[in-house]
Amino acid sequence: MTKRKDIELGLISLLPRLRRFAIGLSGSAEEGDDLVQQACLKALERYTQWQPDSRLDSWVYKIIMNIWIDRRRSAASRLSVPGEGLWEQIPGAPLAVELEARQDLKRTWEAIKRLPEEQRQVLLLVTVEGFGYQEAADMLEIPIGTVMSRLARARLALVKQVRGADAE
């Protein structure tokens, strides 16, 4: 199989994870889908740059982050809550419990989008995508201690924002 064919097949299997990461990074399903589309196109255009002995997912996550950073530098875009307008369609338990859960989820997404970009990237890579600290450090090209520090600060900020300033 050719290197390009390997990438094509790999991208297909990675799409759900790439989309979840891009939506979390951008805060918008539309922008997340656009990031994934652009990243996949770049990966296919530059397939010769991928090393088969390295992880395809790390390479494509890095492409997504670079596209996102480039966009953020060129325009100060506003983040929106993923799935906004779809809250009413989430099936669930009794109405009071469901409404409370929706509010918690909305507050959490609002808190995530207020995190500094560096903290948000680490939080999404480690807690949402399940990468280890070293993998995240390699993708972001930062020391592992920086990953741990950013993650700790992100988690603390989320707890304070979602549960209140006096939360421990």
Residue type, 25: L
d(CA 84, CA 88): 9
- Please tell us whether the domain made up of 1-75 is placed in CATH 1.10.1740.10: yes
Tens-digit pLDDT profile for residues 11-53? 999 999 999 999 888 888 898 999 999 999 999 999 888 888 8
Neighbours of 160 (CB within 10 A): 14
Domain definitions of the chain by residue range: 1-75, 90-168
Tens-digit pLDDT profile for residues 92-146? 556 666 667 777 778 888 888 889 989 999 999 998 888 999 999 998 899 999 9
**CATH T-level assignment (fold) for domain 90-168:** Arc Repressor Mutant, subunit A (1.10.10)
Tens-digit pLDDT profile for residues 63-101? 998 898 888 776 544 444 455 555 455 555 566 666 677
